[in-house]
Amino acid sequence: MYNYEPRTALKIVKKLTNQSNVEVVDCQSLRKRAEKYGNRTEFGNYVFITNVRNRSAALTVYIGSEEVRLSKLNPRRREILKELPRTLQELKGYLEKAPLVKVEQVMGNNPYYTPHCTLYVSVQRKDSIRIPYMWCNTMFGPRDVPARPAHQEAGGPARGPRLSIVYIPEWPESKREILVFPEEGVTFVLGSDYFGEAKKGFLRMAMWFAKKQGMLGIHAGAKILKARDSSGKVKKYGMFLFGLSATGKTTHACHNHGLTRAGEGVEIVQDDAVFWRRDGSALGTERGFFIKTDGLDPKSQPLLYQAATMADTTFENVTMDSAGRLFFSDDTLTGNGRGIIQMEHFGKFAGGSINLPSLHQLDGLIIAFITRRNTVLPIASRLNPAQAAAAFMLGESIETSAGDPARAGESIRVVGTNPFIVGSEAEEGNIFYDFIQRYGDKVKCFLLNTGGVGEIIKSAADGTKITKRKVNRIEILEMAAVIRGIARGTIQWKEDPYWKVEVPKYVEGMDIRRFKLEKFYSRRKISSLVKEIKRERIHYLRQFRGLRSGIIKAVE
């Protein structure tokens, strides 16, 4: 399909090490250089405006053996691969001339798996200096991580791979592309100045290598919950929160859920990605959280808002007026405004570690798949292992009117809610299934719907979608009550006659009757809508060759 000499990308990167046009910089020196190109806010932090304001997913290709190549290629991706030899030749020549800065950081803070990450950025456009500055606010310095355990020193496994990303923001817009060489640990970002390509690019490659070492890289928030059960005993649970963008994953990963009784509380561990190990522990990846700022407010998201207003926060593409006031709900510039916040600003809610302990050190692990649907999906469902593995594979949400009005209400599905999987997606689902089966009753899985019920959308003659009845939305504090009830073990469950899963009959602190489906639709309509979603799910899961049959049967 394309002509590529293995290890060419790695050779290009290695050559940069000794080039005179590469300036090695440390994170401490970058702030002053970067802030010259930002706007100071009322909080004393800075907003930067970029040309590209989203990841260039449709322009991203994976290059290497059959194991890592993308199975589905759009026309632009095919063109990128066809032009690959010429692109690499042009890139090689340009990298000999362009002024570059180099920063070295480490992903994670543990003695077992800490990929060494090197970022090269062209500063031909001087404002591009903000990219390494922002990246420094998410990772760890090489001296920040602990030494390996003594038993690993002699002949033990390496701490992690060496990964490199090279950014050329000024590359022609018409040729914008992201070239990923997973097996070589190299990514080239050409023509984009969006910071998310650095953050996600390193995570993508690290997840690939983690899988090769028997771990599962998951795109999920992580936290610890301490909750007092009905017997009065305080129990300690780990928690993973899976969710696509705009489902509320970060909101609930960074929420205390009202766990305020004596001995209760939460410890926020990670908001985006961890490496899940076979003993049930999870290794965190970052010290700074790259949050979506859309709708951020102090009432419903107090912890996130508090951290976002600190002086060391950096914002990207958030609307600001001439007085430095920020408008988090103003999407004039983009619906993807972002900020990098520091976990330490969560105060008593900040975890003492970015890692989750092993299961033998916990009372259990709660896994929550957060989706957003607006019609007949229950607000909460308790899942068995096969149903949980199906939820992992489905990675569901829906398109919103803000995202794509023409597709509003249509299903979006991304395996593991993780658009950064390299290799077989069925393999990831099977690994997840094996993990939760191995741990037995110590792992509890749930599907949480942060959308609501009752919405009716009709298609107009021209194909546009018209909302005839708005969704009866579940509020953030109501979902917090659900999570609190799960942790305390106080929810009363019953089988749902339509979905054949367990759903709440009673939740302390909220009126679950608000979401009774029969208030909004006839029984015939409910059955019809449920069957339609089930048909979609079965059709979707059957495309994955090698996926365990029990996972597919779980949605029938």
CATH of residue 519: 3.90.228.20
Please check whether residue 469 lies inside any domain of the structure: yes
H/E element holding 482?
A: helix 476-488
Question: What sign for the dihedral angle of Cα 127, 23, 8, 213?
Answer: negative
Global confidence as pTM = 0.93
For position 149, what pLDDT does the model report? 57
Spatial separation of the C-alpha atoms in residues 364 and 358, rounded to whole Å: 10
Residue 284 CA to residue 275 CA, distance in Å, equals: 7
Last residue within a domain, chosen from 163, 193, 213: 213
Q: How many residues does the chain have?
A: 556
The verdict on residue 302 lying in a domain is: no
Residues 23 and 165 in one domain: yes
DSSP, res 474: P
The CATH number of the domain holding residue 120 is 3.40.449.10
How many CA atoms does the CB half-sphere of 484 hold within 13 Å? 20
Domains identified in the chain, total number? 2
Kindly calculate the radius of gyration of the chain based on its CA atoms and give it in whole angstroms. Answer: 23
> In angstroms, how far apart are the furthest CA atoms of the chain?
72
Residues 399 and 498 in one domain: yes
Q: Reduced to 3 states, what is the DSSP secondary structure of residue 269?
A: strand
Pairing mode of beta strands 186-190, 177-181 = antiparallel
Say if residue 23 is exposed, middle or buried (CB neighbours under 10 Å; 0-12, 13-18, 19+): exposed
What is the CA 437 to chain-centroid distance, rounded? 24
Distance CA 174, CA 172 (A): 5
Query: Are 41 and 320 a contacting pair, CB within 8 Å?
Result: yes
What is d(CA 302, CA 313) in angstroms, rounded to the nearest whole number? Answer: 16
Residue with tokens 């008593």: 348
| Inside any domain, residue 25 | yes
Beta pairing partners, 481? none
The predicted structure's pLDDT at residue 348: 92
Of the candidates 247, 22, 30, 55, the one whose C-alpha atom is nearest the C-alpha of residue 138 is: 30
91, two tokens: 């890139």
Q: Is residue 509 part of a domain?
A: yes
Determine the Cα–Cα distance for residues 381 and 493; give it in Å rounded to an integer. 9
Whether 195 and 242 map to the same domain: the answer is: no
CA distance 204 to 138: 15
Instruction: Determine the pLDDT at residue 545.
Output: 95
**DSSP letter string over 134-194?**
HHHTTSB-TTSSPPPPHHHHTTPPPS--EEEEEEETTS-GGG-EEEEEGGGTEEEEES---
CA distance 414 to 401: 19
Give me the pLDDT at residue 154, please.
Answer: 37
Backbone region of residue 463 per phi and psi (left: phi > 0; alpha: psi in -120 to 50; beta: other values): left
The 3-state DSSP class for residue 206 equals helix
Residues 27 and 106 placed together within one structural domain of the fold: yes
Checking phi first, is residue 136 left (phi over 0); if not, alpha (psi -120 to 50) or beta?
A: alpha
- Given a contact cutoff of 8 angstroms between Cβ atoms, the answer to whether 37 and 134 are in contact is no
Same domain, 279 and 151: no
CB within 8 Å of 515: residues ≥ 6 apart: 378, 379, 452, 453, 472, 474
**b/e map 503-525, b = 16+ CB within 10 Å:** bbeebeebebebbebeebbeeee
For residues 124 and 222, membership in a common domain is answered with no
Q: Which two tokens stand for residue 435?
A: 């993990």
Whether 222 and 206 map to the same domain: the answer is no
Q: Answer yes or no: do 160 and 82 share one domain.
A: yes
Q: Is residue 372 part of a domain?
A: yes
Provide the pairing of β-strand 220-228 with 177-181: unpaired
- How far apart, in whole angstroms, are the C-alpha atoms of residue 350 and residue 296? 19
| Distance in angstroms (rounded) separating the CA atoms of residues 128 and 37 | 9
How far is 395 from 401, CA to CA, in rounded Å?
Answer: 20
Please indicate, yes or no, whether residues 56 and 118 belong to a single structural domain of this protein: yes
Q: Which of 213, 238, 255 is the last residue of a domain?
A: 213
Backbone angles phi, psi at 357, to 5 degrees: -70, 170
Q: What is the structure's pLDDT at 151? A: 45
Residues 370 and 238 in one domain: yes
CA distance 546 to 556: 18
Per-residue pLDDT of the chain (556 residues; tens, 9 = 90+): 678 999 999 999 999 999 999 999 999 999 999 999 999 999 999 999 999 999 999 999 999 999 999 988 999 999 999 999 999 999 999 999 999 999 999 999 999 999 999 999 999 999 999 999 999 999 999 887 776 554 444 333 448 999 999 999 999 999 999 999 999 999 999 999 999 999 999 999 999 999 999 999 999 999 999 999 999 999 999 999 999 877 888 889 999 999 999 999 999 999 999 999 999 999 999 999 999 999 899 988 889 999 999 999 999 999 999 999 999 999 999 989 999 999 999 999 998 999 999 999 999 999 999 999 999 999 999 999 999 999 999 999 877 555 555 566 678 899 999 999 999 999 999 999 999 999 999 999 999 999 999 999 888 888 788 899 999 999 999 999 999 999 999 999 999 999 999 999 999 999 999 999 999 999 999 999 999 999 999 999 999 999 999 999 999 8
Task: With beta carbons less than 8 A apart as the criterion, state whether 481 and 488 touch.
Answer: no
| Residue 62 in domain | yes
Q: How far is CA 55 from CA 178, 179, 339, 401, in A?
A: 9, 13, 15, 20
* Pair 431, 388 in one domain: yes
Asked if 210 and 407 count as a contact pair (C-beta separation under 8 A), the reply is no
DSSP code per residue over 23-87: EE--HHHHHHHHHTTSEE-TTS-EEE--S--S--GGGEEE-SSTTTS-S---HHHHHHHHTHHHH
32 and 172 inside one domain? yes
Position 549, amino acid: S
The rounded distance, in Å, linking the Cα atoms of 378 and 454 is 11
Position 330 in a domain: no
Cross-strand partners of 116: 106, 162
Q: Is residue 506 part of a domain?
A: yes
Distances (CA, A) of 491 to 69, 229, 483, 504: 45, 11, 10, 6
Distances (CA, A) of 59 to 99, 181, 239, 336, 549: 25, 14, 34, 18, 33
Chosen domain end from 173, 192, 213: 213
Cβ neighbours of 126 (radius 10 Å): 12
What does the pLDDT read at residue 408? 61
Find the domain containing 546 and state its range: 218-286+354-553
